[in-house]
């Protein structure tokens, strides 16, 4: 699959007004979820909800969520990305404003606002929508402490949205911690995608994340499974990267994608222009690797469809 990058990169707009334009009460702008588009990637039989999580920072978690979501949307699928990190990096990378006054994930968790009233279309691709995160989300964990079913707020909101609009994929980008925000994501999702950096201590922290997953499965979400592992920052010139990749594939033989994301200057540059690497520099090695990973992810989803039908 190929994509033609825009003639000039879109820079992030910092000189915005303090308060954004209000989003209409009626979700008339959500036709992207129902309009039939040309599809080059296979559609799942039902919505696949993946939480992209790794408590270890700097592993390419947000980069992976952003670029996989964009690649799937470019393949004709309808994708929602939920930014659950108060830093709002995923919102920035997808060209969606998230300054003070913009409503988003915080209002969904703390105010029971419906997701469809707050999501924004991303200029990266048709069919790609973003629920933005603002710095207000940093106070959500404190604000939700006394809230009933505080760990299921996102689950209820996402169920209502999916029942109405049936997106093909939902990605939830989590902060690099195992707090209440990440817990909401783990309860709301059915699948976990773990990006693992091909460097020393790559598996450090993954064991704790797996223990948390098992706790969530046992008490709050029996459907949760670790379905996908993606190797990131892979440098084939070094013996260390090859050793780490081999170790990860040994630990997660069925879950690890064949595609590995190489170290790439273009991947690092793209977010500063408010873009994914797929539109910033589609011919780069990093962009091509994310296209391959998305195609593999979609193919696995299609295989899951066949298994469900034969069960």
Q: For 96-103, what is the mean pLDDT?
A: 88
What local confidence, expressed as pLDDT, does residue 215 receive? Answer: 85
What local confidence, expressed as pLDDT, does residue 36 receive? Answer: 56
Domains and CATH numbers, the chain: 39-310 (3.40.50.300)
Contact call for residues 75 and 104 (beta carbons, < 8 A): no
What local confidence, expressed as pLDDT, does residue 306 receive? Answer: 56
- Per-residue model confidence as pLDDT tens digits over 211-246: 888 888 888 999 999 999 999 999 988 999 999 999
**Global confidence as pTM:** 0.86
Counting every residue, how long is the chain? 311
What local confidence, expressed as pLDDT, does residue 6 receive? Answer: 46
In the predicted model, is pLDDT for residue 179 greater than 50?
yes
In the predicted model, is pLDDT for residue 206 greater than 90?
no
C-alpha distances in angstroms, 132 versus 120, 136, 202, 216, 280?
8, 11, 29, 25, 21
Distance from C-alpha of 305 to C-alpha of 294, rounded to nearest angstrom? 17
> Angle 180-190-209 (CA atoms, 0-180°, nearest 5)?
50
What local confidence, expressed as pLDDT, does residue 21 receive? Answer: 36
- Per-residue model confidence as pLDDT tens digits over 277-293: 999 999 999 999 999 99
Distance from C-alpha of 301 to C-alpha of 263, rounded to nearest angstrom? 27
Q: For 3-30, what is the mean pLDDT?
A: 41
Q: SS3 string of 227-290?
A: EEEEEEEECCCCHHHHHHHHHHHHHCCCCEEEEEEECCHHHHHHHHHCCCHHHHCCCCHHHHHH
Q: Please report where in the chains the tokens 């969520």 appear, as a residue.
A: 65
Element (H, E) at 226: strand 225-234
Q: Please report where in the chains the tokens 């033609």 appear, as a residue.
A: 4
């Amino acid at each position: 699959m190929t994509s033609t990058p825009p003639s000039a990169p879109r820079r992030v707009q910092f000189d915005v007004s303090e308060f954004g334009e209000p989003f209409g009460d009626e979700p008339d702008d959500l036709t992207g979820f129902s309009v039939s588009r040309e599809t080059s990637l296979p559609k799942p039989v039902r919505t696949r909800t993946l939480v992209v999580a790794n408590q270890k920072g700097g592993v390419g978690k947000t980069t992976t969520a952003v670029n996989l979501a964009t690649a799937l949307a470019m393949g004709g699928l309808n994708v929602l990305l939920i930014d659950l990190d108060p830093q709002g990096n995923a919102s920035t990378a997808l060209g969606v404003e998230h300054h003070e006054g913009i409503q988003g994930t915080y209002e969904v968790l703390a105010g029971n606002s419906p997701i469809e009233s707050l999501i924004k279309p991303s200029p990266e691709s048709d069919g790609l929508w973003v629920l933005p995160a603002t710095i207000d989300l940093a106070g959500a964990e404190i604000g939700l402490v006394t809230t009933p079913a505080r760990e299921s707020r996102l689950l209820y909101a996402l169920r209502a949205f999916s029942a109405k609009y049936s997106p093909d994929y939902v990605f939830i980008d989590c902060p690099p911690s195992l707090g209440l925000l990440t817990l909401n994501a783990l309860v709301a999702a059915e699948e976990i995608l773990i990006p693992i950096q091909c460097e020393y201590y790559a598996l450090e922290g993954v064991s704790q994340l797996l223990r948390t997953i098992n706790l969530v499965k046992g008490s709050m979400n029996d459907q949760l499974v670790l379905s996908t592992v993606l190797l990131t920052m892979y440098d084939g010139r070094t013996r260390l990267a090859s050793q780490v990749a081999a170790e990860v594939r040994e630990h997660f033989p069925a879950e690890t994608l064949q595609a590995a994301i190489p170290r790439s200057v273009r991947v690092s540059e793209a977010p500063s222009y408010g873009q994914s690497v797929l539109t910033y520099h589609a011919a780069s090695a990093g962009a091509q690797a994310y296209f391959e990973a998305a195609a593999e992810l979609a193919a696995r989803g299609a295989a899951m469809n066949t298994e469900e039908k034969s069960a």
